[in-house]
A = this chain, B = another copy of it.
Amino acid sequence: MKFELSAKDNSARSGIITTNRGEINTPAFMPVGTQATVKAMSPDEMKEIGAEIILCNTYHLYLRPGHEIIKNLGGLHKFMNWERPILTDSGGFQVFSLSALRTIGADGVQFRSHLDGSMHFIGPEKAMEIQSALGSDICMAFDECTPYPASYEYAVKSLELTTKWARRCKEAVSCQLSANSSQALFGIIQGGVYKDLRKRSLEELGEIGFDGYAAGGLSVGEPKEEMYEIINFIAPLMPDDKPRYLMGVGDPNDMLAAVEAGFDMFDCVMPTRNARNGTLFTSAGRISIKRTEYKADNSPLDENCGCYTCRNFSRAYLRHLFMSKEILSMRLNTLHNLYFYLDFFKKMRDAIKRKNLGDFKKKWELLLR
């Protein structure tokens, strides 16, 4: 993996991540394909709307169908027919948020599957083994996502565990290097809402050395101001020559602020989940497509949008599909929201290149509330 910056606008950056499977223009949004499919979308459509990378969830794929099965079928790319880059998370976040009966030890976490109650264990070595079997282009170190609220003492212990696990992930990957030498590994900064701990976490990860650095444990319930504080504090301290990934933050305004602070990569289920619930992003603000006012509205969802949905269907039809609980509703809505997000990132990249991200932000932040 190679990362080159091509433009800067104050702290905001634009660049290109080059992988064996293609280039990723940054700042980049990664649609989420939890179970080896971006919900409601086909891989062809993902390419058509210009997705350059997607994220898949290690926890889900480990439990079903199983990483060994995917490996034997030729890897995750072949399995889901997606030849462009894939980032896999470490599984840590879902182990803590979805599974039951978690027992955290020095070597990892024992947990019960949310699917069938079976017992499992994932630690740093296992997380690397799974991601290697999946064959993702970028894999993430196994971390403990520090919850909110967390006491200073808890946050210290949590970050120390994350650092230890990060080192073991790096070592595990180094041993596997010959097997999968093109897989990049990112470390995850923890530390809760405590700036000194965030700084310490980043420094410890930097000593180990990773291909990229991510800020984890944000957008987990803390007030927006605290999240913005940490984003603005940590971004400038992160290495300039490596991608900076803000995990799980996907509100357009939050991403705009984070891009301004210097982050390069994002993922979130917001565009896809909102789409299925009928909340659609447009250049004139958010729309709830089920509203009665759209019942006979023959205009497109967004006149300024070039997606398949907006080029071919009226708001009245989209409302009808939503009210009728039709599958095509989820398809057309998801396609539009993802197109909007990817287009929004393209616009941000262009603004950085033109050095007017500030103006861009002023124009968009009201619309995107």
Contact = CB atoms under 8 A, between A and B. Distances in A.
Interface string A39-52: 11111100000000
A331 B44 CA distance: 13
Nearest to A43: B312
Interface in A40-96: 40-44, 64-65, 69, 72-74, 79-81
Interface in A19-40: 35-37, 39-40
A323 interface: yes
B320 A42 contact: no
Contact of A36 (B64, B308, B317): B317
Given A40-B327, A42-B331, A328-B37, A65 B312 contact: no
B65 A320 contact: yes
Interface in A158-217: none
Contacts of A37: 321, 324, 326, 328
A332 B327 CA distance: 12
A127 interface: no
A14 interface: no
B327 A79 contact: no
Interface string A309-329: 000111011011101101110
Contact of A313 (B40, B81, B321): B81
A323 B64 contact: yes
A312 B81 CA distance: 6
A274 to B, nearest CB: 15
Contact of A316 (B73, B312, B316): B73
Contacts of A72: 296
Interface residues of A, number: 38
Interface in A74-126: 74, 79-81
B326 A39 contact: yes
A326 B42 contact: no
Given A73-B298, A296-B69, A324 B35 contact: yes
Given A64-B323, A330-B327, A316 B79 contact: yes
Contacts of A328: 37, 39-42
A355 interface: no
A33 to B, nearest CB: 10
Interface in A289-347: 295-296, 298, 308, 312-314, 316-317, 319-321, 323-324, 326-328, 330-332
Listed residue (A64, A73, A312, A320) with the most chain B CB atoms within 10 angstroms of its CB: A320
Nearest to A329: B37
Listed residue (A64, A295, A308, A328) with the most chain B CB atoms within 10 angstroms of its CB: A328
Contacts of A313: 81
Contacts of A73: 296, 298, 314, 316-317
Nearest to A72: B296
A237 B73 CA distance: 56
A57 to B, nearest CB: 11
A80 B317 contact: yes
17 contacts: A36-B317, A36-B320, A37-B324, A39-B326, A39-B327, A39-B328, A65-B316, A69-B295, A69-B296, A69-B316, A72-B296, A73-B317, A79-B316, A79-B320, A81-B313, A81-B317, A327-B327
Interface of A: 35-37, 39-44, 64-65, 69, 72-74, 79-81, 295-296, 298, 308, 312-314, 316-317, 319-321, 323-324, 326-328, 330-332
